[in-house]
Amino acid sequence: MMLLTRRFLWQLLDWRGLLFPAVLFLAAAQLSSNHTLGTQSLGDYLALASLAPIWLIYRACDLSHQRLHAQGWADEEVLRSPTKRLPLSEFLAACLALLLLLTLAGAAKSISTPTSTDSPQLSYRALPFQPTDEGHLLRAQTWPNGSQLFLTLHWANLPDPAATISHPDFGSLRPGEMLKINPKLIPANDDGYWVFDFHKIGLSDDQSAPKLATDMSRMAIPRPKGPLVLPLSLLRMAAFFLPLLAAALALVRHTSIRPLLATASTLIFGWMTTWPALDSPASASPIARFVWSASQALPDLSGLLTLGHDWELQYGTTPLSDLLLWLIVFGGIGLVSLLQPRRRPKS
């Protein structure tokens, strides 16, 4: 078992297997650097670094496919022996390679660009409000801890502009001051939307109700800081890719599909767990709605794959239950199917 694992690991991480990730990490570190002409975003670094696990899954599938179908490769007799646990060793070697690559990614980033402290503490995000008769709607979703909603209200008439007006859902409103709300305290309606209706403020004149200025309202999200942000992000990325690795290897082993197709379909399945809710499902095409509906049955893993310029929106938002479901159930299905004896094609 050790021999099998070691040999597959060396095959995965030979010079061809390491060259692409090494170049990728160095380029990504420069591209997202604070000191060179970079984008100064950890999300951009993670987005590029996520290509390494994708590359690894394809490479593991390709090597596994070669072993299944080709003849005359090194140690073929040893590795084909039915007493050896070939699929498990391949999976273990690929897991080790994944962890090694992500450690390399962390090291490359830490060495090339030390943690900066000059970026702002808060990141502000525009919100897709939907105006309706009952007020403005916003799809309820999980925001990172410490997020705050800043709402701007336009007032027309007030008996006493200096007074504080009480709202049953949002507390006290003061003209000229943004309304600050913790999104965790806003109840969602039955359709999963937050409703912002400011006609409930108890003023006698309905014209006095303020209007929500959606173009001047934002969600403020604390920007993750500290030495643990990068390692935690990479660890979550590893948790995201592990079940996909098992699934991709199982697909290659038990079906006759090509490594590229196995990798693509497995990764798309995984990425569906990070799809956000559609802003307007009614206006989406039927196929988009159908695939999106299918994705809603999967656990929400957007907090595991925090990539790109809006990475802090998802940082740490995946519930533990979804993570366990992903690792145990989906990873378990992938692993069990990987370890099933392979059906020999009829000759």
Partner 1 sequence: MSRFLATLFVLAAVFAHANEPQLRLPAEDAILSSRHWLLLRQLEENVVSQNRWAQATAANELLLRAGDSSWVRFAAYSLGVDEATKRSPLSYELRQTYAQRAVTLLATSRKALPQPWSCAQLQAYIIVSNDLLQQEAPNSEPPNDAASALLAWLACGGGPHQPAQVADSYRDYLSLAEGPRRDYLMNKLDFFRTLELD
Binding footprint of partner 1 on the chain (CB under 8 A): 31-32, 37-39, 41, 43-44, 47-48, 50-51, 54, 123-126, 150, 152-155, 157-158, 161-162, 174-178, 180, 213-216, 218, 220, 251, 255-258, 261-262, 264-265, 267-272, 274-276, 278-279, 284-285, 287-288, 290-292, 295, 307-310
> Which ranges constitute the DSSP H helices of 273-328?
286-296, 311-314, 320-324
To partner 1, the closest distance from the beta carbon of 124 in angstroms equals 4
Say how far apart CA 245 and CA 321 lie, in whole Å. Answer: 21
Nearer to partner 1 among residue 89 and residue 302 (C-beta) = 302
- Please report, as a single letter, which amino acid is at residue 182: N
Nearer to partner 1 among residue 92 and residue 244 (C-beta) = 244
To partner 1, the closest distance from the beta carbon of 3 in angstroms equals 31
To partner 1, the closest distance from the beta carbon of 180 in angstroms equals 7
Nearer to partner 1 among residue 79 and residue 229 (C-beta) = 229
Long-range contacts of 137-142 (CB under 8 A, 24+ apart): 137/193, 137/194, 137/195, 137/196, 138/193, 138/194, 138/196, 139/192, 139/193, 139/194, 139/277, 139/279, 140/186, 140/188, 140/192, 140/193, 140/194, 141/276, 141/277, 142/300, 142/317, 142/319
To partner 1, the closest distance from the beta carbon of 102 in angstroms equals 15
Nearer to partner 1 among residue 180 and residue 199 (C-beta) = 180
Say how far apart CA 195 and CA 188 lie, in whole Å. Answer: 7
DSSP 3-state assignment of 123? strand
Nearer to partner 1 among residue 92 and residue 242 (C-beta) = 242
Say how far apart CA 142 and CA 317 lie, in whole Å. Answer: 6
Say how far apart CA 96 and CA 25 lie, in whole Å. Answer: 18
Say how far apart CA 181 and CA 141 lie, in whole Å. Answer: 14
To partner 1, the closest distance from the beta carbon of 74 in angstroms equals 29
Say how far apart CA 94 and CA 100 lie, in whole Å. Answer: 10
To partner 1, the closest distance from the beta carbon of 76 in angstroms equals 26
Nearer to partner 1 among residue 154 and residue 225 (C-beta) = 154
